Amino acid sequence: MTETKEINDAPERLTLRKSAKLRHRTLVQELFQKGKSVYSGPIRVTFRALSDEELKGSFKEAVPDLMGPVQFMITVPKKKRRHAVDRVLMRRRIREAFRLQWHPLRQRIQADPAIRTLSLAIVYMDTTNAGMETISAAVGSALSKVRKKLYPQPKGDTDC
């Protein structure tokens, strides 16, 4: 006797798709010009929530099809980490930590009709390589701060 699992009961796969990659020049420029930042350990996250109208205004023609609810980019400045192997290592650690922790934020953005997409830039700010535990904790804390800035709770409400 075999049990069949319904598609809705299957756990969500923790993957990053092409639609999650922030790759449009205008969106990146506007993110750093008009975005807000939060800091957590060696990580700085700059974010900007875009409505449908703002997103349409960022492009000359139609909005591209592959626009996920959350789009991100990771940068490790050459000024902070001189060697390419160190920059690649930090990018991989940040990407893995983000991949494991971004789903609650994505689900919240998808449920919000006012936000079409959330652009994130994750910047590694330290001059030394950090371990995976440190990176994971910093990324989780930064994403939590972004969620709190986007959706502030009323003063009397203590429910998370």
Could you report the per-residue pLDDT of 12-44, keeping only the tens digit for each?
A: 677 778 788 888 888 899 999 999 999 998 999
Q: Given CA atoms 16, 17, 23, 26 in this order, what sign does their dihedral have?
A: negative
- What confidence score (pLDDT) does residue 11 get? 58
Task: Identify the pLDDT of residue 1.
Answer: 45
- For the segment 81-90, the average pLDDT, to the nearest whole number, is 94
Band (159; pLDDT cuts 50, 70, 90): low
- pLDDT number for residue 4: 44
Q: Under 8 Å CB-to-CB from 73, ≥6 apart: which residues?
A: 21, 22, 23, 28, 120, 121, 122
The model's pTM:
0.83
15 vs 134 pLDDT, higher one: 134
Tokens linked to 92: 């991989």
The pLDDT mean for the chain works out to 85
CA 2 remoteness from chain centre = 39
pLDDT tens, 89-123?
Answer: 999 999 999 999 988 888 888 888 888 889 999 99
CATH number assigned to the domain covering 18-150? 3.30.230.10
Mean pLDDT of 69-98: 93
Q: Domains of the chain: which residue ranges?
A: 18-150
pLDDT at 6: 47
Output the pLDDT for position 116: 86
